[in-house]
Amino acid sequence: MKEEKLISKKKPTFPINSELYNYLTTYNRNIKIPIFYDDLLRFSGSINVFDKNDKDTLWIRVYYPEFEQKEIDLSLKQMYNILHGDGTEDILEHLIVDEIDYCTFGNSNPFRVKIRSVLNDNYTYIYVKKADASRVYGLELEDILSPNHINFLVYKETLIEEHVLGIPGDMFMEESLRDVSDIEQKRLSKEFVKFNERCTLRLLGDMRAYNYVIVPTYDFDQVQYRIRAMDFDQQSYEGKLKVYRPQFFKDNLLFVEMVQKQLGNESIEQYKKEERSALAKRLKSSPNRIKNLLTCMKNDHISTQDNIENLKKELIEYTHDKDFKDCKCMGEILQVAFDFVVRNYESVNAYIIR
């Protein structure tokens, strides 16, 4: 199947309803911020941003009228402090907004803001986006159910996300993969299998190579790897199961071939079981939060009826779990998927105990 057929068309933006907004307030994700996404759209000029190889990144660096720039910079520094600090303004005099970039492709058209500390010259990024219910569900599920925590805030129609550190998957494959040793390729293969399984189980779609990052960690004389999603726009929207399985995107072919070369079928199955077990443990350790989030999803409209019906059929074929048949929305599909994972985990553990 050609990749372009996996993604049906550009996903629409779904508004955040009052129930999800109340959930975000309960878990401290909703806080008043000093600037909105629409405010940043009022830039007066821009230039193209190129990478180190003079390739157009499809980001543009934007500028604002002088009388607005100071106010915008102050608001962005305050936003950074709310996301990463304690909210007090003592730190603001030590922060500088170096760059504000606007992304001209993709669904969310984010602003990427580079903020630098004059005390130590360290810098980081924050992203300002139009709030979308799919993305918020994806971010929250990532924080609860993945090995990685992620920080974000929502206020009205604006979403602020922290930067996910790592090497974008497409860049890693192009520039670094050929230098990775065999033993390190085995570790990276293990992580790709687990990442693939995690995306499938929680219905996080469109993990093409530029939508996740590779995070190398140095441990004495060896390198360990972790793969982290950094785009959550396609959470529980598409109707094709393959969209939720990174192995089927042609961008990831080098990783798929690496897995086939470095791991046998038994190892692949073992790592998939480990990831299911880890997900089951996380589900059982945060039952109330997951229940509340899924309740919001069940009462929300985040996909089309055609997508829901098709995904149900494909999941029944994939899992042989007939419970998917009665699902009426994506929230119910995700509930059945999680119940399936927990049920299998508990049955295996019951067998071991006996």
Q: Name the phi and psi angles at 212, rounded to 5.
A: -140, 165
Give the Cβ contact number of residue 147 at 10 Å.
13
Q: How far is CA 226 from CA 88, 174, 187, 216, in A?
A: 34, 18, 9, 7
The tens digit of pLDDT for each residue in 214-266 reads: 999 988 778 899 999 999 999 999 999 999 999 999 999 999 999 999 999 99
Q: Give the type of residue at 340.
A: F
Q: Which residues contact 344 (CB under 8 A, 6 or more apart)?
A: 276, 280
> Lowest-pLDDT range, 39-43, 52-56, 122-126, 225-229?
52-56
How far apart (Å, rounded) are the C-alpha atoms in residues 112 and 202? 27
E strands present in 4-150: 45-50, 56-63, 95-103, 111-117, 123-130
How far apart (Å, rounded) are the C-alpha atoms in residues 74 and 178? 44
How far apart (Å, rounded) are the C-alpha atoms in residues 133 and 159? 10
Query: What residues does 152 pair with on adjacent strands?
Result: 161
Query: What residues does 153 pair with on adjacent strands?
Result: 160
The tens digit of pLDDT for each residue in 106-134 reads: 778 999 999 999 999 999 999 999 999 99
pTM over 0.85: yes
